[in-house]
Amino acid sequence: MASRTSELVGRVDPAQSFDTDALLRYASANVEAFPQAPTQFKVSQFGHGQSNPTFLMEVHSGSSVKRYVMRKKPHGKLLESAHAIEREFQIMGRSVWAPQVFNCGAPDTGNMEVLMRYGNEEQLHQWLVPLLEGNIRSGFAMTEPQVASSDATNIECSIKRQGDSYIINGRKWWTSGAMDPRCKILIVMGKTNFDAPKHKQQSMILVDINTPGVNIKRPLTVFGFDDAPHGHAEISFENVRVPAKNILLGEGCGFEIAQGRLGPGRLHHCMRLIGAAERGMQMMVLRALSRKAFDKFIAEHGSFLSDVAKCRIELEKTRLLVLEAADQLDQLGNKKARGTIAMAKVAAPNMALKVLDMAMQVHGAAGLSGDTVLAHLWATARTLRIADGPDEVHLGTIAKLELRRARL
Ligand SMILES: Cc1cc2nc3c(=O)[nH]c(=O)nc-3n(C[C@H](O)[C@H](O)[C@H](O)COP(=O)(O)OP(=O)(O)OC[C@H]3O[C@@H](n4cnc5c(N)ncnc54)[C@H](O)[C@@H]3O)c2cc1C
């Protein structure tokens, strides 16, 4: 090892430091196509929260550089709490595709959570295991084109019991994941009893996407992005017959399941949005430090300085709110944490939109093009002022809780 320069670059927390020569020996022996005679080997640590310390390995070989990301925790180890996964989601949120690569994207994580909480043993084996292994993908079909679906009591899809089966009829759209050729299972929300009390009419049922009568009508785009490979579909269900055992938890439990699913799912979105905003900040600053306008770097113009500082304040405020919501979810559960989750769900997309918009502004026309990731990150952030409940609905929840507290 003496001929190689092995050094720690950046700030590796001393508590996390390790033998870099041993790491280099291990990587040379085990990592496919790892440069065998590196001229330089650097390890640096990603900043911020350290629930799972993550490192960047840079291997220089002549003029080429290879980069690897390495995590401290063993591969496949489950992180037990919402708080603990916050860091992973932030890193994945920097990219539009990383959550899928790591099998941590919407709607699959939410669907896995539904199966884990509410599925029986047979359903877990049939659908959860292949989902966790990344062998299949899934969709969550609740929203319908003909009714205001932010109020899920409006849903009209019918799920009727007939002997040992249920027959499903209805039309859904924005079923994310359903355009993916690997999508095999849909969790469909509909009504099993139109006469029951308002929040007991709905049920959720598992539908194999290849069941006769499930017709994918068309893909939907977001500002022109098709969001491949997961994609959003409009789907019709025409006399779709599924075994009665596919019902989740029982008839009338649809609302209860929806609440259980949406809390963690919303927080995952918030965590990814913080990652997206961090990427925007980084790109914005690098651009401002390298591009000159009117004889000065953009970073030297006063307006930029105050804008970038305001973005950082918004980002850090939101990060703390999301962490607080994750902590409450862990400590108090979904129901008690709902107010803080609602606050995070409103704050995170709005903050990310502001930061990404500023990053696009600093990039000039390039920021609006497909040459950078900014436009796609912005489009994704914009959907989250509507998807998983529009801002107004969450603001209503926050206000209701505030008023209830005042009356106590
Ligand atoms: C990219 C993307 C992915 C999606 N993925 C899925 C998915 O996988 N599965 C799924 O089932 N759905 C999905 N959706 C749909 C999404 O959940 C719904 O669009 C959302 O719940 C709103 O329903 P709606 O579109 O019917 O809007 P509507 O209910 O018609 O509401 C329209 C507008 O009315 C206003 N409004 C609504 N309620 C109130 C209120 N209480 N106070 C004041 N104003 C209000 C808001 O401005 C709201 O945006 C996705 C949507 C997008 C954009």
Return the higher-pLDDT residue of 308 and 95.
308
Q: What is the pLDDT of residue 5?
A: 34
Q: Is the pLDDT of residue 211 over 70?
A: yes
Atom from ligand 1 closest to the CA of residue 172: 11
Q: What is the pLDDT of residue 277?
A: 97
Q: Is the pLDDT of residue 379 over 90?
A: yes
d(CA 365, CA 233): 31
Q: Which residues pair with 170 in a beta bridge?
A: 237
For the chain, give the number of residues: 408
Over range 315-335, report the average pLDDT: 91
Over range 286-308, report the average pLDDT: 95
Average pLDDT over the chain reads 89
Return the higher-pLDDT residue of 408 and 291.
291
Please choose, from the candidates 331, 262, 277, the residue with its C-alpha nearest in 3D space to the C-alpha of residue 83. 331
Q: What is the pLDDT of residue 6?
A: 36
Q: What is the pLDDT of residue 46?
A: 66
Pairing of strands 137-141, 183-191: parallel
Please choose, from the candidates 211, 217, 223, the residue with its C-alpha nearest in 3D space to the C-alpha of residue 185. 211
pTM for the full predicted model: 0.82
Pocket test for ligand 1, best of 109, 157, 174 (most atoms within 8 A of CB): 174
Pocket test for ligand 1, best of 100, 143, 220 (most atoms within 8 A of CB): 143
* pLDDT tens digits for range 214-243: 999 999 999 999 999 889 999 999 999 999
Residue 238 Ramachandran class (φ > 0 left, ψ -120 to 50 alpha, else beta) = beta
Q: Is the pLDDT of residue 213 over 80?
A: yes
Q: What is the pLDDT of residue 224?
A: 96
d(CA 254, CA 220): 25
Per mean pLDDT, which of 47-51, 56-60, 175-179 is the most reliable? 175-179
Q: What is the pLDDT of residue 84?
A: 66
Tokens (6 digits) for 339: 């107010």
Pairing of strands 54-61, 137-141: unpaired
Please choose, from the candidates 43, 93, 82, 39, the residue with its C-alpha nearest in 3D space to the C-alpha of residue 381. 93
Pocket test for ligand 1, best of 113, 149, 237 (most atoms within 8 A of CB): 149
The domains located in the chain, with CATH, are 5-71 (no CATH), 120-248 (2.40.110.10), 258-407 (1.20.140.10)
Kindly state if the Cβ of 379 falls inside 6 Å of ligand 1: no
Q: Please, are residues 382 and 353 in contact by the beta-carbon 8 Å criterion?
A: yes
Tokens (6 digits) for 202: 């709905």
d(CA 337, CA 328): 5
Q: Whose CA is nearest to atom 44 of ligand 1?
A: 392
Q: Is the pLDDT of residue 50 over 70?
A: no
Q: Whose CA is nearest to atom 19 of ligand 1?
A: 387
Q: What is the pLDDT of residue 72?
A: 67
407 pLDDT band, cuts 50/70/90, is confident
Atom from ligand 1 closest to the CA of residue 107: 8
What residues have CB less than 8 Å from 76, skipping those under 6 apart?
none
What percent of the chain shows pLDDT beyond 90?
64
Q: Is the pLDDT of residue 82 over 70?
A: no
